[in-house]
Chains A and B, each alone.
Chain A
Amino acid sequence: MPSLISQPVKRRLVIVGAGMAGSKLAHDFEKAHGDDYQIVLVGEESRVGYNRIMLSSLLAKDISDADMSFVDAQKMQEDGVDIVSNDPAIKLDPKNKTLLLASGKTIKYDQLVLATGSRASVLPIKGGSAPNVMGFRTWNDVDVMTQLKGSQSVCVIGGGLLGLEAAVGLVKRGHKVVVFHRSKWLLNRQLDEESAELLLNRLTQMGIEFRLGESPESFKQADDGRVSHVVCQNGEQLTVSLVVMAAGIYPEITLARAAGLETGRAILVDDQMKTSHQDVFALGECCEFDRQTFGLVAPIWTQINVLMKVLVGEEAAFVIEPTPTKLKVSGVNLFSVGKIQPSEEDSCIFFKDVSANHYRKLVVNDGLLVGAILYGNVADGSWYFQLIQNKTNVSDMLDLLVFGEAYCCPQVA
Chain B
Amino acid sequence: MTTTMKTATSVKTTCPYCGVGCGVNLTLPHSASEAVPPVSGDLEHPANFGRLCVKGSSLAQTIQSDDRLITPIVDGHPVAWESAIKTVSAKIAQVVKDHGPDAFAFYLSGQILTEDYYVANKLAKGFIGTANVDTNSRLCMASAVVGYKRAFGSDSVPCNYEDLELCDLLIMVGSNAAWTHPILYQRIAAAKKQRPNMKVVVIDPRETATCDIADLHLAIKPGSDAAIFSFLLTDSVQAGILNDDFIANHTNGFEAALSQAKESTPSLSLTADFCGIGEQDLASLASWWRDTAKTITFYSQGVNQSSSGVDKCNAIINCHLATGRIGKEGAGPFSITGQPNAMGGREVGGLANQLAAHMDFATPGAQDLVQRFWQAPNMATKDGLKAVDLFQAMEKGKVKVVWIMSTNPMVSLPDTAQVRRALEKCELVIVSDCKAHTDTTAMADVLFPATGWSEKDGTVTNSERRISRQRGLLPAPGEAKHDWWAICEVAKRLGFQSAFSYQNVHEIFAEHAALSAFENNGKRDFDIGHFSQITQSEYDALTPVQWPVPKGRPEGTKRMFEDGYFFTLDGRAKFVAISPSLPKYQASQEWPFTLNTGRVRDQWHTMTRTGDAASLAKHTAQPYVEIHPKDAKRLGIKDKDLVRLTSSYGEALLKAKVSRAVAPDNVFAPIHWTRQFANASVVSNLIPQVVDPLSGQPESKHAQVQLEAVRDICYGLIISAVPLVLSECLYWCQVPSEQGYHYEVVWPNGQTQASLKAIDREQDKDLAENVEWLEYSNPATQQIRLAKLVDQKITMLIYMHSQPKSILADWLISKLEVNTPLSLVDRLAILVGSPANAEEKGEIVCSCYQVGSKQIEKAVSTGICSVDGLGAKLKCGTNCGSCLPELKRFVSSVVELSA
Q: Which residues of B contact A356 (CB under 8 A)?
A: 772, 774, 824, 827
Q: A347-B780, A403-B829, A403-B831 are in contact. List 20 more A-B contacts (CB 8 A).
A: A349-B777, A349-B778, A350-B778, A351-B774, A352-B773, A352-B775, A353-B775, A353-B827, A353-B828, A355-B772, A356-B774, A356-B824, A356-B827, A358-B824, A358-B827, A377-B824, A399-B781, A399-B783, A403-B832, A406-B836
Which residue of B778, B789, B828 contacts A347 across the interface (Cβ within 8 Å)?
B778
Residue of B774, B776, B829, B837 near A411 (CB, 8 A) is B837
A398 interface contact, C-beta 8 A:
yes
Q: Is A238 an interface residue (CB 8 A)?
A: no
**In the complex, residue of chain A having the shortest beta-carbon distance to the beta carbon of B837:** A410
Provide the residues of chain A in CB contact with B777, threshold 8 Å: 349-350
| B residues with CB within 8 A of A | 772-781, 783, 789, 805, 824, 827-829, 831-832, 836-837
A383 close to B (CB within 8 Å): no
Alpha-carbon distance A404/B837, docked complex (angstroms): 12
Q: Do the beta carbons of A353 and B780 come within 8 Å of each other?
A: no
Contact B780 A398 (CB under 8 A): yes
Contact check, B781 vs A406: say whether CB atoms are below 8 A apart.
no
Nearest-CB residue, chain B, relative to A377: B824
Inter-subunit contact B772/A354 (CB<8 Å): yes
Q: How far is the CB of B436 from chain A (nearest CB, A)?
A: 39
- The CA-CA distance from A351 to B775 in the complex, in Å, is 6
Chain A residue contacts of B774, Cβ below 8 A: 351-353, 356
B772–A403 touching, CB < 8 Å: no
A403-B789 Cα distance, complex, nearest whole Å? 19
Q: Judge if A4 is at the interface, Cβ distance under 8 Å.
A: no
B534 → chain A closest CB, angstroms? 63
Q: Is the interface of A mostly helix, strand, loop or mixed?
A: mixed
What are 22 A-B contacts defined by CB distance under 8 Å? A349-B777, A350-B778, A351-B775, A351-B828, A352-B774, A352-B776, A353-B774, A353-B775, A354-B772, A355-B772, A355-B789, A356-B772, A377-B824, A399-B778, A402-B778, A403-B831, A404-B828, A406-B837, A407-B836, A410-B836, A411-B837, A413-B837
Given contacts A406-B836, A407-B832, contact A364 B772 (CB under 8 A): no
Q: Which of A54-77 contact B (CB under 8 A)?
A: none
Chain A residues whose CB sits within 8 angstroms of the CB of B781 once the complex forms: 398-399
Closest 10 pairs between A and B when the two form their complex, measured CB to CB: A347-B780, A406-B836, A355-B772, A352-B775, A349-B778, A353-B774, A350-B777, A410-B837, A351-B776, A403-B832
Does more than half of chain B's interface fall in helix, strand or loop, or is it mixed? mixed
Residue on A with the closest CB to B777? A350
Give residues in A with beta carbon < 8 Å to B: 347-356, 358, 364, 377, 398-400, 402-404, 406-407, 410-411, 413
Q: Which residues of B contact A400 (CB under 8 A)?
A: 832
Q: Are A364 and B776 in contact (CB under 8 A)?
A: no
Q: A153 → chain B, closest Cβ, in Å?
A: 33
Q: For A399, what are the chain B residues with a Cβ–Cβ distance below 8 Å? A: 778, 781, 783, 805
A347 with B772: CB separation less than 8 A: no
Q: Which residues of B contact A377 (CB under 8 A)?
A: 824, 828
Pick from B776, B789, B832: contact of A350, CB under 8 Å? B776
Q: For the complex formed, measure the closest distance between the CB of A342 and the CB atoms of chain B, giving whole angstroms.
A: 10
CB distance from A343 to the nearest CB of B (A): 14
Docked-complex contact B831 and A351, CB < 8 angstroms = yes
Contacts of A351 in B (CB 8 A): 774-776, 828, 831
Cβ–Cβ contact A350 & B775, under 8 A: yes
User: Chain B residues near A403 (CB, 8 Å)?
Assistant: 828-829, 831-832, 836
Q: How far is the CB of B789 from chain A (nearest CB, A)?
A: 8
Q: Output the least CB separation between B767 and chain A (Å).
A: 14
- A364 vs B783: C-alpha distance in the bound complex, in angstroms? 15
B789 surroundings in chain A (CB, below 8 A): 355
Are A349 and B780 in contact, CB atoms less than 8 angstroms apart? Answer: yes
Tell me how far the C-beta of B211 lies from the nearest C-beta in chain A, rounded to whole angstroms.
Answer: 36
Cα separation A411 to B839 with both chains bound (whole Å): 11
Tell me the bound Cα distance from A410 to B390 in angstroms: 61
Give Cα A411–Cα B263 distance, bound, in whole angstroms.
Answer: 70
Residue of B nearest to A406 (CB): B836
Instruction: Name the A residues within 8 Å of B778 (CB-CB).
Output: 347-350, 398-399, 402
> In the complex, A349 Cα to B831 Cα: how many Å?
13
A347–B782 CA distance with the chains assembled, in angstroms: 11
**Which A residues are in CB contact (< 8 Å) with B772?**
353-356
Q: How far in angstroms is the closest Cβ of chain A from B341?
A: 49
Q: How far is the CA of A356 from the CA of B824 in the complex (A)?
A: 8
Contacts of A364 in B (CB 8 A): 780
Q: Which of B772, B777, B805 has the most CB of A within 10 A?
A: B777
Residues from chain B with a CB closer than 8 A to the CB of A410 are: 836-837
Of A364, A398, A399, the most chain B CB neighbours within 10 A belong to A399
Q: Which residues of A contact B824 (CB under 8 A)?
A: 356, 358, 377
CA distance A411 to B838 in the complex (A): 10
**Residue of B775, B776, B783, B828 with highest tally of chain A CB at under 10 A:** B828
How close is B685's CB to chain A, nearest CB, in angstroms? 35
Residues from chain B with Cβ under 8 Å of A358 in the complex:
824, 827-828
Give the CA-CA distance A377 to B776 in the complex, in Å: 15
Give the residue name and chain of the B residue nearest to A402 (CB): B776
Chain B positions within 8 Å of A347 at CB level? 778-780
Q: How far is the CB of B196 from chain A (nearest CB, A)?
A: 42
Q: How far is the CA of A378 from the CA of B36 in the complex (A)?
A: 50
Chain A residues with Cβ under 8 A from B776's Cβ? 349-352, 402
Shortest distance between the CB of A138 and any CB in chain B (Å)? 38
For residue B828, which residues in chain A have a CB less than 8 angstroms away from its CB?
351, 353, 358, 377, 403-404
A413 to B779, CA, bound (A): 33
Task: A348 to B805: give the CA distance in the assembly, Å.
Answer: 20
Complex CA–CA separation, A347 to B781 (angstroms) = 9
- Compute how far the CA of A395 lies from the CA of B824 in the bound complex, rounded to whole angstroms: 26
In this complex, what residue of A is CB-closest to B787? A353
In the complex, what's the smallest C-beta–C-beta distance from A128 to chain B, in angstroms? 43
- Distance to closest chain B CB from A132 (angstroms): 43
Q: Is the CB of A354 within 8 A of B773?
A: yes
A301 to B824, CA, bound (A): 35
Please name the residue on chain A nearest to B840 by beta carbon. A410
Determine the residue in chain B with the shortest Cβ distance to A356.
B827
Q: Which residue of B lies closest to A361 (CB)?
A: B777
Q: Smallest Cβ distance from B99 to chain A, in angstroms? A: 64
Closest to A380 in B: B828
Nearest B residue to A347 by beta-carbon distance? B780
Closest CB of chain B to A154's CB: distance in Å? 33
* B147, chain A: closest CB distance, angstroms: 55
Closest to A408 in B: B836
Bound-state CA distance A353–B776 (Å) is: 9
What are the residues of chain A within 8 A of B779 when measuring CB–CB? 347-348
Among residues of B, the one whose C-beta sits closest to the C-beta of A401 is B778
Q: Kindly state the separation between the CA atoms of A350 and B828 in the bound complex, as whole angstroms.
A: 12
Chain B residues, CB < 8 A from A404: 828, 836
Taking CB atoms, residues of chain A closer than 8 Å to B827 are: 353, 356, 358
Residues of chain A with a CB closer than 8 A to B773's CB:
352, 354
Residue in chain A with minimal CB distance to B825: A406
Alpha-carbon separation in the docked complex, A399 to B775 (Å): 14
Per the bound structure, the CA–CA distance linking A402 and B774 in Å amounts to 13
With CB as the reference atom, state the residue of chain A lying closest to B830: A353
CB distance from B466 to the nearest CB of A (A): 52
